[in-house]
């Protein structure tokens, strides 16, 4: 129940037998009720070797049967996004992710505007899910990396790991207070 206390812009809430103190209508948000976060995952070249390329696969459910096709081939020294003037057309990690298709070869797995990638050339790459993936928890294992080794004469291939740095989703505190 919401009760206006007077004409001085104050109110009181009653719920389950309890009542709040008189509160002003301009209570600043504290963030204690709900918090929304975009998922962030980190793609890291764990051994620093650059002899080879890699491809990324995405599964929106984290289950192999829902995997996308493999991305275009990405250089191990590729820029994070196309905003980098040194990025070859279609050669950034962000573009590779945006252009991924589901197994049918037609349906976008991620799509343009639904992912942002930042980081230095060669990584580590911070992958932030936005747009239709905003405020959603992306399952562990949703992004996987396949390495394509280069010439053995030039040394060992890169090795990649994918870790979640920020879980996406909406979390809340059902017992939060305005005080």
pLDDT of residue 42: 96
Cβ 85 vs Cβ 79: under 8 Å: no
pLDDT of residue 41: 95
C-alpha to C-alpha distance for 21 and 13, rounded to whole angstroms: 8
Q: Closest Cα to residue 94, out of 117, 128, 120?
A: 117
pLDDT of residue 116: 95
Q: What share of the chain is helix, strand, coil (3-state, %, to 5)?
A: 10, 35, 55
pLDDT of residue 17: 75
- Has this prediction a pTM greater than 0.85? no
Q: Which residue stretches of the chain have pLDDT < 70?
A: 1-11, 23-34, 83-90, 172-179
Q: Is the peptide bond before 124 cis (omega within 30 degrees of 0)?
A: yes
pLDDT of residue 124: 96
Q: What is the mean pLDDT of the chain?
A: 81
């Amino acid at each position: 129940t919401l009760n206006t206390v007077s004409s001085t812009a104050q109110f009181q809430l009653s719920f389950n037998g309890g009542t709040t103190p008189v509160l002003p209508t301009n209570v600043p948000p504290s963030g204690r009720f709900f918090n929304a976060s975009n998922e962030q995952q980190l793609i890291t070249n764990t051994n620093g070797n650059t002899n080879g390329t890699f491809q990324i696969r995405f599964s929106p459910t984290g289950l192999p049967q829902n995997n996308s096709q493999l991305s275009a081939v990405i250089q191990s020294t590729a820029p994070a996004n196309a905003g980098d003037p040194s990025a070859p057309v279609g050669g950034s990690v962000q573009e590779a992710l945006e252009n991924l298709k589901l197994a049918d070869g037609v349906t976008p797995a991620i799509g343009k505007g639904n992912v942002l990638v930042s980081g230095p050339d060669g990584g580590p790459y911070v992958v932030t899910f936005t747009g239709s993936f905003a405020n959603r928890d992306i399952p562990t294992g949703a992004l996987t990396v396949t390495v394509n080794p280069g010439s053995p004469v030039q040394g060992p291939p890169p090795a990649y790991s994918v870790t979640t740095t920020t879980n996406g989703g909406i979390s809340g505190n059902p017992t939060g207070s305005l005080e």
